[in-house]
Amino acid sequence: MAEKEPGFFRRLIKGASAFWRAWTFLSENKLWTFMILPGMLSLMLAVGLIASLYMGLTGAIAGLIPQNQTGFLWSLLQGFLSFMIFVISVITTVFMYRILASVVVMPFLGPLLSRVETLLNGKATEVSISKDIKNAIVGIWVSLKYAFVEIIFLILTLFTGPVQPFIMAAVSGYFLGRGSFDYLLEKHTLSLRERKERAKEFWPEMEGLGVMHFITLFIPIIGPLAAPGVSVTGAALIFYGEED
């Protein structure tokens, strides 16, 4: 009798567990040094986005409220507004970060992925320079397309009430997971159409992996520093069958 295909939720959990398995894999094989450059770029990107958004929103709101006000209630209101601006800046950064990270961070994860592939398969998948350039250009276009679709979904979640945070996490998680898998798939496919077809084979795992990536990004410093490399490593563990 043929073995029964794992169900959606089992594969979802498989994707999420791969994210945590990747931490152990990176530690056991002493691969953290490969994450220093992409990790620092990721952290700088996240901090820069938060700081820019916070200062921009603070300046915009400052022009709409009376100045030189005193009193306990006014101080309380100012503190609340500052906190809400910071929260909005962080949440917005997570969504903007994914788009920019595909261009700023992901290309520098190549040495890490090659080392992971060597440990898993005995050799890394070699890609020609011309294909590398083509993949980078296609990657930018795909990221912009993902961003447009993601924004549409996120706008629709505004009407979902109390389940909105969960839907937002699911939507953003899928695109984060897809981004980590795309970096692998582009090395093993000849066209964008073929990449899309291969991606469909892994979409429950992408969702589980991406949700963990999404949640981790909210951890100060450690999140943006480690999440990209951990997620790509987790995708490799799934892709090469190490999480079966």
Query: What does the pLDDT look like over 112-129, one tens digit per residue?
Result: 988 999 998 887 776 656
Tell me the pLDDT band of 2, cut-offs 50, 70 and 90. very low
Return the higher-pLDDT residue of 243 and 31.
31
Among the residue ranges 1-5, 24-28, 136-140, 182-186, the one predicted with the least confidence is: 1-5
Return the higher-pLDDT residue of 12 and 165.
12
- 8 Å CB contact between 112 and 35: yes
| CA 38 to centroid of chain Cα atoms | 13
**Angstrom distance (rounded) from CA 240 to CA 7:** 19
**Angstrom distance (rounded) from CA 239 to CA 105:** 21
- 8 Å CB contact between 178 and 204: no
Q: Is the pLDDT of residue 27 over 60?
A: yes
pTM, two decimal places: 0.81
- 8 Å CB contact between 235 and 18: yes
- Quick one: average pLDDT of 147-151? 73
- 87: burial class by Cβ within 10 Å (0-12, 13-18, 19+)? exposed
- 18: burial class by Cβ within 10 Å (0-12, 13-18, 19+)? buried
> What are the CA-CA distances from residue 85 to residues 49, 89, 95 (Å)?
13, 6, 16
Q: Is the pLDDT of residue 65 over 90?
A: no
Return the higher-pLDDT residue of 133 and 1.
133
The pLDDT assigned to 134 comes to: 64
SS (H, E, C) 49-111: HHHHHHHHHHHHHHCCCCCCCCCHHHHHHHHHHHHHHHHHHHHHHHHHHHHHHHHHCHHHHHH
Q: Which of 204, 207, 201 is nearest to 185 (CA)?
A: 201
Specify the DSSP class assigned to residue 2. P
- 8 Å CB contact between 230 and 20: no
| CA 65 to centroid of chain Cα atoms | 36
> In which residue are the tokens 């397309």 written?
145
- Quick one: average pLDDT of 66-91? 72
Specify the DSSP class assigned to residue 7. P
